[in-house]
């Protein structure tokens, strides 16, 4: 499940994606199942998030 995303890096083209197995904090506590993935986009971000 996607939780958050943000453009970053020096050229604002890497898209960082945070994902987790669910929304329930009690189930996720200590599970270490979240992940951060990156994808390079063709159109850079503008301004601040």
Residue 28's pLDDT is what?
A: 76
Average pLDDT rounded to a whole number, residues 5-11: 92
| 11-38 pLDDT, tens digit each | 999 999 999 888 777 877 888 888 999 9
User: Closest by alpha carbon to 34, among 14, 49, 16, 48?
Assistant: 16
Phi/psi at 15 (5° precision): -100, 120
Per the document, the length of the chain is 49
Separation CA 14–CA 36 (nearest Å): 12
Whole-structure pTM value = 0.75
Question: Considering only CA atoms, which of 32, 15, 14 is closest in space to residue 5?
Answer: 15
């Amino acid at each position: 499940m996607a939780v958050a995303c943000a453009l970053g890096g020096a050229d604002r083209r890497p898209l960082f994606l945070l994902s987790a197995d669910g929304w329930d904090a009690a189930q996720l506590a200590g599970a270490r199942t979240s992940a951060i993935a990156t994808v390079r986009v063709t159109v850079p971000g503008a301004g601040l998030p």
